[in-house]
């Protein structure tokens, strides 16, 4: 299957469908055909755009802590696929980063999922990832996370690990008490099979 994934990743990394972005196109993705875990975020932020590496920022530090993994494990494409809804930094608006560009997911998600047959767990970070994978009818982000057991371990709805969400985390102590231990245990189980 690697023969199919390699050319697809090359096409994605050279994509210019969003050529009018403030910082220009810079598709950021990590994918490996053997990885059993898929992390779906929103879109790269300004720091990620500059570094060219997904979640190489404070949000990534919190995410790796939630998963119970170190940086080397996290950035190994045979362990984790990191495929946001939009591959390029969409720009900044009044309330933070803009939503992922609408062109990206319809253009690339289906061929990517077909090229990644080993995925057993998909971690959905934030509203845009959850809307795509769970459907908008499944309620608010908070409701989806509260009902995490309904789709666990195949689909795991989580809030975005951004420092901007500290109030959300503090208001829901059950999240770190219940969801994170279950998430870590499942990640550990999947990684132990490699």
Asked if residue 7 belongs to a domain, the reply is no
Separation CA 174–CA 154 (nearest Å):
20
Residue 144 belongs to domain spanning: 29-192
Asked if residue 103 belongs to a domain, the reply is yes
Separation CA 92–CA 22 (nearest Å):
9
Phi-psi region of 72 (alpha: psi -120 to 50; beta: other; left: phi over 0): alpha
Position of tokens 């509260």? 146
Instruction: Dig out the tokens for 9 from the structure.
Output: 């990743």
Asked if residue 133 belongs to a domain, the reply is yes
Asked if residue 117 belongs to a domain, the reply is yes
Asked if residue 64 belongs to a domain, the reply is yes
* Domain CATH for 90: 3.40.470.10
**Residues of the chain under the 50 pLDDT cut:** 1-2
What count of other Cβ atoms lies within 10 Å of the Cβ of residue 24? 12
Q: What is the pLDDT of residue 137?
A: 75
Q: Tell me phi and psi for residue 116, to 5 degrees.
A: -125, 75
Do the beta carbons of residue 87 and residue 15 sit within 8 Å? yes
The pTM of this model reads: 0.95
**Predicted confidence (pLDDT) per residue in 58-79, tens digit:** 999 999 999 999 999 999 999 9
Asked if residue 58 belongs to a domain, the reply is yes
Q: What is the pLDDT of residue 3?
A: 54
Alpha helices, H only, the chain:
2-13, 46-51, 58-67, 71-74, 104-115, 127-134, 141-146, 166-171, 173-174, 180-192
Total structural domains in the chain? Answer: 1
Asked if residue 66 belongs to a domain, the reply is yes
């Amino acid at each position: 299957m690697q023969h199919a994934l390699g050319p697809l990743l090359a096409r994605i990394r050279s994509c210019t469908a969003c050529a009018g972005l403030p910082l220009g196109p810079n598709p950021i993705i990590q994918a490996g055909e053997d990885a059993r875990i898929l992390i779906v975020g929103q879109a790269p932020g300004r720091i990620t755009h500059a570094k060219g590496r997904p979640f190489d920022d404070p949000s990534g530090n919190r995410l790796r802590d939630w998963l119970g993994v170190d940086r080397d494990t996290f950035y190994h494409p045979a362990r984790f696929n990191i495929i946001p809804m939009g591959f390029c930094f969409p720009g900044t608006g009044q309330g933070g980063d803009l939503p992922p560009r609408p062109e990206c997911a319809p253009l690339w998600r289906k061929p990517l999922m077909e090229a990644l047959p080993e995925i057993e767990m998909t971690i959905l970070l934030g509203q845009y990832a959850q809307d795509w994978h769970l459907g908008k009818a499944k309620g608010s982000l908070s409701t989806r996370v509260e009902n995490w057991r309904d789709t666990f371990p195949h689909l795991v709805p989580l809030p975005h690990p951004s420092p901007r969400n500290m109030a959300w985390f503090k208001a829901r102590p059950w999240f770190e008490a219940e969801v994170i231990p279950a998430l870590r245990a499942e990640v550990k189980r999947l990684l132990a099979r490699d």
